[in-house]
Chain A
Amino acid sequence: MRARSGAPRRGFGLPAGTLMAHIPDGFLSAPVVAGTAAASAACLAVAARRSRRRLAEREAPLLGALTAFVFAAQMLNFPLGAGTSAHLLGGVLVATLVGPWSGMLVLFAVVLVQALLFQDGGIAALGANTLNLAVIGAGGGFLLYRWVFALVGDGARRRAVAAALAGFGSTVMVGIAVALELAASGIVPLRPAVLVIGGAHVLVGIGEAMLTGSVLTLVIRSRPDLMTVVAPPTRAARGVALVTLGVALTVAVGGVYLASTRPDVLTAAATRFGLTGRETSTVTPPFAGYAAPRGGPWVAAVVGVMVLFVLAWAVSRLAARRRS
């Protein structure tokens, strides 16, 4: 063992979204700092009460171990291919091990250590970083996990797949939350913020999904006692999950339809730089301009969302089968 001359080495070459997962001081306005701090404090107060009830005397070693683990694991650069890499955020992984409330406390402890000792994330931005990584990352991620778990059904491999998909979803949610906070602070316009930071977090989410699912598979095999107990989904829970899926699809269809009527950021940028009309394509898309040959944009939106859903469903089922 050797003494270190500074903070533990953290990887470079990370996507922009990874860097902004811990917002430094100087990026947020006073109202956003105050608002996110109040929201985080309220959530942590509830989490502390609920966690104590759940873990009792086991909580200190469990939470201490996980805090140290998440900090150490965040130093591992996970290659995504094409020269990009990401590191674990850990919200869903921790929440599936100790439950959402304790998971939020673990992520808060990690954010606190990183801000106070290593200046990775600001002291004034502590509330925002806690809201993003602990409340949304672990708490929101666990809600997603329960939802996907109810959809895919019980079983060790299905749990891992549900956690992987929730890991991806929670990472994207974290990216969007960061973008919203920066935009609300007047630092950067909303659309480019969502596009750049949210887009980078889609990449980061792929790594998060791989790490969460794979590590959880190994944990289920070697130490299943470490997993938090989640009851198998009942018929009612499955029904609720399917209804919310239906609502989500409806919103998505509406979103696709609405989005198709306005130029997006890329189109606007292309217009600004005089790139419109220069694009070439050797393939004729079936729904060019989000319009189906018959039925217009509504049909294109419904078909597009259904195709995406079927693809995602097939990939998750295939992944669940292969993990067995």
Chain B
Amino acid sequence: MGGEPTGGAAAIVSFHHLDQYATVPSPITAAPPVARLVGAASVAAGAATLPLGAWGPLAVLAIPVLASAAIARLPLSRLLARMTGPLAFVLLASIGLLVLVPGEPAAHLGPVAVTREGIARCGFVLGRAIVALGAAVVLVSTTSFPDLLHALRVLRLPLVVTAALGLAYRLLYLLVDELERLQRAARSRNAGGGDAGRRRLMIGVAAAVLGRAYARAERTHRAMVARGYSGDLPSLQAWVWSPQTVLVLATLVALVAATSAAAHLGVL
């Protein structure tokens, strides 16, 4: 299992938990990152925009997600575990639909009625979210962040954004750790008691992290310029589009387009 942190030097804060299947040899990881990104985005967009109640087309779009996870040798348990956190937020956001959607009451929670239409809509929104989430998790599990950046550059995202993302990637977990250290230090000095004290502490910590982020970014940038950085971050790996990759991606995009069109036209 390539890339999984195993302790010692590997335990340094990293993104390895995200892309731990990126180095597992498979047809998915052999495909260029832009093909993986386009494939995952088309399945996610296709599933997320299906008309309400189109359970059949949703099941069709779930197949490529499960198939790509199996081909990438990403265990189902791992896929589901990675989906649990984001799904909790989706669940919290969609639970309001049970009572906000008008319709025939199915049950009463105190003075509020849970409607049948609300249950149906909440269920389908969750279904769409699960398939789209699955596609995103397969993508992020099989693609390293530098490869994702490469794909975004190929897709002509503004250079300034990819450069900023590249630098942010280097700083992100350092800053998160710094934030936790600052909070721990403040707590050990009994700072932040009560809501008002905690607010003052949060403001101080946020301002300190902002100052340190700037200082660190300026240092990193100077070091990058000294090593020849001129605004672009070229990828060292040359990706080759094989005929099979082109064929599989074209088939996938056509499947998503056909399923989506059939669902919107009420054929499927």
Are chains A and B native binding partners rather than an unrelated pairing? yes
Seen from chain A, the residues whose Cβ lies within 8 Å of a Cβ on chain B are 1-8, 16, 19-20, 24-30, 33, 44-45, 48, 51-52, 57, 59-69, 71-73, 75-81, 88, 105-106, 108-109, 112-113, 115-120, 122-125, 186-189, 192-193, 196, 210-211, 214-215, 218-219, 222-223, 226, 273, 275
**Which of chain A's residues have a CB closer than 8 A to the CB of B161?**
44, 48, 63, 105, 108-109, 112
Which of B97, B164, B198, B210 lies in contact with A109, CB distance below 8 A? B164
Q: How far is the CA of A71 from the CA of B173 in the complex (A)?
A: 10
Interface residues of chain B: helix, strand, loop or mixed (majority): helix
Residues of chain A within 8 A (CB-CB) of B44 are: 25, 122-124
Interface residue SS majority, chain A: helix
**A117 B167 Cβ-Cβ under 8 A:** no
Is B211 in the interface zone, CB < 8 Å from A? yes
B168 touches which of A4, A113, A223 (Cβ 8 Å): A113
Question: Which residues of chain B are within 8 angstroms of A60 by Cβ–Cβ distance?
Answer: 160, 163-164, 167, 221, 231
A71→B148 contact, CB < 8 A: no
Which residue on A lies nearest to B175, using beta carbons?
A72
- The answer, yes or no, to whether B137 is at the interface (CB within 8 Å) is yes
A210 to B204, CA, bound (A): 12
Candidates B17, B126, B198; contact of A79 at CB < 8 Å:
B198
The residues of B that contact A26 with a CB separation of less than 8 Å are: 47-48, 90, 94, 125-130, 132
Shortest beta-carbon distance, A108 to chain B, in Å? Answer: 6
Contact across chains for A79 and B199 when beta carbons are under 8 A apart: yes
Binary interface encoding of chain B residues 1-34 relative to chain A, with 1 for a CB under 8 A from any of its CBs, else 0: 0000100001111111110000000000000000
Query: A-facing mask of B23-55, CB < 8 A → 1, else 0?
Result: 000000000000000001100110111011000
User: How many angstroms between the C-alpha atoms of A106 and B148 in the bound complex?
Assistant: 18
Within 8 A of A (CB), among B219-236: 220-221, 231
A192 to B220, CA, bound (A): 48
Contacts A62-B217, A64-B166, A72-B179: A24 and B203 contacting too (C-beta < 8 A)? Answer: no
A-B contact pairs, 27 of them (CB 8 A): A2-B13, A3-B14, A16-B96, A24-B90, A48-B158, A48-B160, A59-B163, A61-B220, A67-B165, A67-B167, A68-B175, A72-B178, A73-B179, A77-B202, A81-B195, A105-B161, A116-B140, A118-B86, A119-B85, A123-B40, A123-B41, A123-B45, A125-B48, A187-B125, A214-B203, A218-B207, A219-B210
